[in-house]
Structure 1
């Protein structure tokens, strides 16, 4: 192994150190008054209680799935024996990343509100660096787990694992292929945990948010985060469990999935060029990610803003840190690829730049469609003059239009990445796919800081809630509102990055699926005999299943559009995206109905709430959201696991390939639409709350609140969960390849 690999574990430890450093810095700040501390404790206790309950449910699911993997590995002998352990560690680290991020956020909100009494920059600094804890924990834990598994499997595969020793003895290049496809199971564990966290957290936060808005703002006419609103604590709890813990687990699996899929394709693309070259192709994405951590830390220290800064100036302050990190990774990735002597390193670097620039482009377009500083969001705000219906129509239309340029950007990035890496040869499929995978790494290479800009938003939102409930001055609320509005835009941008990288990663995982199918076939003697006969009759270059090329495997598996199983699979994949969104949207609706009824009951039965003389039952609202989320998250989350397995058993490998293609194409566009429409509705409401079109309490404001209520599950539940769905279906398909090969009906 190249000695430069030491950068990977060292940079992961460095990320965790700075996460700890920023956490300690934040904890030294004052939480403010006793009332501010009391409110923060309510939110913190509610968030931790929810997370404990969620982890109990997820733990049971992991036990069942792990037992299934163990049966496949040790009883049926159709699975790598290390898969169950990799699956568990992936889920554990994903959950741990979300836990650390949420714990930091719940301590940071009151401190941000207190700092905002001094200045806008002080509030931004605490909120942003607290968000940076999430960013650095995600990349630090991700690379740490990857590096540990990679080191361990170097000694396990082919030595302690007798099932692979014979394969590796005949072809040494197979060792890295087996190692990298095994580590993809770690990605499945992360994706499974992330989906439960995103769906459950999204249902919790939006049920509380909708209940607080509809009854509090619209019916009772009281301000957002008013302490008289029984759902306001649940709303603030939801920001943490959904937008921090859920988002952290989400982007953890995106980050790891991109790195692991690129490593798997590197093992395949460079298999015939010597073990050293193959190894360098595998570790290249890990080293690029390691350097990205260092540059992210540098960028975090560069974020600051002046008092009275406008939204565009605040965006510029955050962009400064992101841009410095992005320019740095562009330079250093070239040097890394050259040092590793990657074949066609200039072309591979061009592929990575295509991904990096594509990610920046998606971010800019998202900013345009969701920021109140630009025309689309202001047009939605203006549509409030004619009532809620036109607000809904305008927001849906804006969201649909906003998908066009991101699709073109991702499409261009895919083509350029393929062409650059393959030396403009469409026949060089393995290298072209490696280029697409490393383009996803380019998008996420500086996730440490891009996630910090995303995670800071919920902290700013909670800070505003604490300021409102604590009765801090108007100037403080103006500052926290400015930070919150910026957070809505950066959150939408972060979702754009996540779904864009998901589209690229899903294509890379599709190629990894073909490689895993080859390994699965090799485990069953009669399947090997069938392939050998077919290969001989059709004059394949290699009749050895391990050495068969991707085009040869595609021919053998009948992976073409004239195969009805591929088309049916594509329809199922597209349907899965809509089914998933429908289930999660309805789940939010049902949970929100319970919340609305509870808030109305408290206003009706608890005397003196609206006059400030009585205290609402905050805990009851937190309990309703918790139970609703736990109950409603199971079906959509389990479907993401069940659909690929069922499709594989019924329609075989070709059906699964169609499923993955349909899922990624439909899911990508649907996710962009929902995230941008939701972000635009939210910021249109905040634009009115700044004093435009009558300001707070006006008829325009009530119409905007209705639009924001529809947009909440769009942008915070269904939309962001789709990128996990896309990758989880791919990961499940890869891990269950042995099951598909052994038991498919077609």
Structure 2
């Protein structure tokens, strides 16, 4: 076992070293002229200021929760919790710092062609991806070694990662959408000025939001999924394999996934092509193929058969299928988005109706894929004869889906960097050819971001299910009785929570956006010559509005996600909490898919019209599509992604506090006897 842990740590360090080398390569590239560097400086300053202020809030939160865990669970679990939080913070910090230096260099590289711009943008995303997996496996391997494989303690690491992920996703999502909505509604719709126009006071806040929401927030989200999947596999593997084979296999598979991701990143980064989608697809296919080969070898070497391989392959295939389905529902190359664009000719109402219908339809096939993955992985590992082994198979499917997380995050994080590059090109008045390249990169980035969101949802479902199985094993639940009124109440309350959580985050965006809209209007009204390009907007004021609103509004949803399972478990017992987790998982995944795909479809319907369809920019259809995109922004970038973390955070809170709930939970159940 020790050799495998050292190997895992070594591979984690290799990932971080490669990330550092990519960082150096990006830093050495030209940052363009003085105007470009000035604008990039505003974006970097706003991004890092937000992170620093957010981390001050989170420091207090982490200290309070660590004290509670130390008092009720144990000091070692509290140490793991703090470590998980710190590693998650570091991953987000490293990734966003590099993103804010890669954006201006991507814009400058676009002067010299598509391949050069893609290389810089993708390298920036790769730093985020490799930081996520490198810190994830390094932290877990160290915790596993220090605490001698006690998974009850190591779950604290996952709780720390989940807690930071929730606040990073919700806070970053509120920030970016408040700025985006304010910039679009006042700038594009009311004032009639282009996107990323330097006259718009909210334009810097909008570009900052791309970094804090879509880079740091997304990275924290997948860091949490990655860590959670590994922990669930370690927990269930320890139950079914007393000799440690389950842990050895899990760490070996994760290490192989990191190696495959590095190789895929190198291929995609160095591919000379005018089609960025082709390069990204090539890297993804290479990484996935290598993991499949490694899984087959490890399965036969460690377990002596192909059962684990089938479970892992099921997870990988499900992830790819969900990504493709997401693309079909959200890409302008397919009929669903074109139909929304057509509906926009009759006004915003039909745009909203059509987009919601697409979002609702889009829930079916991803759920079918998830269900197929669960059944295949469960029965492939012998779940019909041994339920514990079948549950371990589901955990392996989640690990399989997330094994190439380094590559997935790289592909996803490259999009916001390209988007920022386009904004810098526009504000710096670079030649139209530069903006054409950055727009193409951004367009592909929108598709990869939508696919990444679908991937995150699928991995969240499998990870939460595997963590749920771990919780059930610890509290001794072999079955959950839906005819038990306490369990049924838990189910209904759990199914309600994603809607309440979604409403809270949507309302938070609305409040922050209202402040942003009023400020942009004020500046247009009061700063002489601003709309004529003769005045200078107060960018910092808009950045401050988004920052303050995001930090204030993120606290209540975060507290709800942590408190709800504890209250249910302590008041009504372990089985009622099991019902709550089941209800939250089912409803949360469906709401997440609906919101992510409806938002992505509205966004690309607007871009499809902007390409010249249905009257093009400035037409009535375009104005309606902008309204649809504005509604979809908090759907796809705030509330939808936060659902993934909600279901995982509730489950891992339950898992960490499972011993306390099993012993002391259900204080009110005697009233029902």
Q: TM-score range by the shorter chain?
A: over 0.9
Bigger drift between 102-111 and 425-434 goes to 425-434
Please give the residue correspondences for 1:2-151 in structure 2 after superposition, counting only pairs within 5 Å.
Answer: 3-72=3-72, 79-151=73-145
The equivalent of 1:744 in structure 2 is: 666
Bigger drift between 80-89 and 10-19 goes to 80-89
**Given the alignment, which residue of 668, 674, 683 partners 2:595?**
674
1:332-371 Cα offsets, whole Å, 9 max, x none, are 111112222x26x311110111111000100111111111
Cα deviation for residue 614 of structure 1 reads 0.4
The equivalent of 2:478 in structure 1 is: 554
**Which whole-Å CA distance do the structure 2 matches of 1:426 and 1:302 have between them?**
42
Contact 1:305/1:314, CA 8 A, preserved across alignment = no
Contact 2:123/2:269, CA 8 A, preserved across alignment = no
Contact 2:130/2:406, CA 8 A, preserved across alignment = yes
Cα deviation for residue 305 of structure 1 reads 9.3
The equivalent of 1:539 in structure 2 is: none
Contact 1:124/1:305, CA 8 A, preserved across alignment = no
Distance of aligned partners of 1:308 and 1:418 in 2 relative to their CA distance in 1, 3 Å threshold? closer
Residue 368 of structure 1 pairs with residue 328 of structure 2 = yes
Distance of aligned partners of 1:743 and 1:415 in 2 relative to their CA distance in 1, 3 Å threshold? closer
**Which whole-Å CA distance do the structure 2 matches of 1:479 and 1:682 have between them?**
19
The equivalent of 1:536 in structure 2 is: none
SS in 1 for 2:589: helix
Please give the residue correspondences for 1:619-634 in structure 2 after superposition, counting only pairs within 5 Å.
Answer: 619-634=540-555
Contact 1:204/1:626, CA 8 A, preserved across alignment = yes
**Given the alignment, which residue of 212, 215, 236 partners 1:265?**
236
**TM-score, normalising length from structure 2?**
0.97
Please give the residue correspondences for 1:480-495 in structure 2 after superposition, counting only pairs within 5 Å.
Answer: 480-495=438-453
Bigger drift between 501-510 and 607-616 goes to 501-510
1:116-159 Cα offsets, whole Å, 9 max, x none, are 111111111110111000000000000000111111112xxxxx
Residue 294 of structure 1 pairs with residue 251 of structure 2 = no
Contact 2:4/2:251, CA 8 A, preserved across alignment = no
Distance of aligned partners of 1:88 and 1:2 in 2 relative to their CA distance in 1, 3 Å threshold? closer
Cα deviation for residue 289 of structure 1 reads 1.0
Distance of aligned partners of 1:694 and 1:117 in 2 relative to their CA distance in 1, 3 Å threshold? farther
Cα deviation for residue 314 of structure 1 reads 3.2
The equivalent of 1:543 in structure 2 is: none
Cα deviation for residue 719 of structure 1 reads 0.5
| Structure 2 portions without partners, runs of 5+ | none
SS in 2 for 1:368: helix
1:585-641 Cα offsets, whole Å, 9 max, x none, are 000001000100000000001111011110000000000001110111111111000
Cα deviation for residue 304 of structure 1 reads 5.9
Cα deviation for residue 306 of structure 1 reads 8.8
Contact 2:4/2:248, CA 8 A, preserved across alignment = no
**Which whole-Å CA distance do the structure 2 matches of 1:66 and 1:219 have between them?**
48
Cα deviation for residue 700 of structure 1 reads 1.8
Cα deviation for residue 315 of structure 1 reads 2.4
**Which whole-Å CA distance do the structure 1 matches of 2:82 and 2:473 have between them?**
23
The equivalent of 1:653 in structure 2 is: 574
**Given the alignment, which residue of 492, 495, 510 partners 2:468?**
510
**TM-score, normalising length from structure 1?**
0.88
**Which whole-Å CA distance do the structure 2 matches of 1:145 and 1:732 have between them?**
19
The equivalent of 1:734 in structure 2 is: 655
The equivalent of 1:550 in structure 2 is: none
Please give the residue correspondences for 1:402-421 in structure 2 after superposition, counting only pairs within 5 Å.
Answer: 402-421=362-381
Residue 328 of structure 1 pairs with residue 322 of structure 2 = no
**Which whole-Å CA distance do the structure 2 matches of 1:320 and 1:141 have between them?**
25
1:24-57 Cα offsets, whole Å, 9 max, x none, are 1111111111000000000000011111111111
The equivalent of 2:425 in structure 1 is: 467
SS in 1 for 2:478: helix
Contact 1:376/1:398, CA 8 A, preserved across alignment = yes
Contact 1:211/1:593, CA 8 A, preserved across alignment = yes
Residue 389 of structure 1 pairs with residue 349 of structure 2 = yes
Contact 1:101/1:131, CA 8 A, preserved across alignment = yes
Please give the residue correspondences for 1:224-235 in structure 2 after superposition, counting only pairs within 5 Å.
Answer: 224-235=195-206
Contact 1:457/1:488, CA 8 A, preserved across alignment = yes
**Which whole-Å CA distance do the structure 2 matches of 1:477 and 1:25 have between them?**
23
Please give the residue correspondences for 1:395-474 in structure 2 after superposition, counting only pairs within 5 Å.
Answer: 395-422=355-382, 425-474=383-432
Cα deviation for residue 697 of structure 1 reads 2.2
1:147-190 Cα offsets, whole Å, 9 max, x none, are 11111112xxxxxxxxxxxxxxxxxxxxx5xx112211110100
1:244-280 Cα offsets, whole Å, 9 max, x none, are 1111111101001001101100001123xxx2xxx12
1:698-744 Cα offsets, whole Å, 9 max, x none, are 22221111111001000100000111111100111111223323143
The equivalent of 1:166 in structure 2 is: none
SS in 1 for 2:306: helix
The equivalent of 1:531 in structure 2 is: none
Please give the residue correspondences for 1:120-269 in structure 2 after superposition, counting only pairs within 5 Å.
Answer: 120-154=114-148, 176=149, 179-269=150-240
**Which whole-Å CA distance do the structure 2 matches of 1:337 and 1:738 have between them?**
32
Cα deviation for residue 515 of structure 1 reads 3.3
SS in 1 for 2:147: helix
| Structure 1 portions without partners, runs of 5+ | 73-78, 155-175, 519-552
**Which whole-Å CA distance do the structure 2 matches of 1:308 and 1:396 have between them?**
36
Cα deviation for residue 438 of structure 1 reads 0.2
Contact 1:120/1:306, CA 8 A, preserved across alignment = no
Q: Which of the two has higher C-alpha Rg?
A: 1
The equivalent of 1:565 in structure 2 is: 486
Aligned residues: 667
SS in 2 for 1:554: coil
1:454-495 Cα offsets, whole Å, 9 max, x none, are 000110110010011000111111111111111111111111
The equivalent of 1:583 in structure 2 is: 504
Distance of aligned partners of 1:186 and 1:604 in 2 relative to their CA distance in 1, 3 Å threshold? same
**Which whole-Å CA distance do the structure 2 matches of 1:305 and 1:719 have between them?**
34
**Which whole-Å CA distance do the structure 1 matches of 2:153 and 2:484 have between them?**
30
Distance of aligned partners of 1:289 and 1:606 in 2 relative to their CA distance in 1, 3 Å threshold? same
**Given the alignment, which residue of 241, 247, 262 partners 1:282?**
247
**Which whole-Å CA distance do the structure 2 matches of 1:29 and 1:304 have between them?**
15
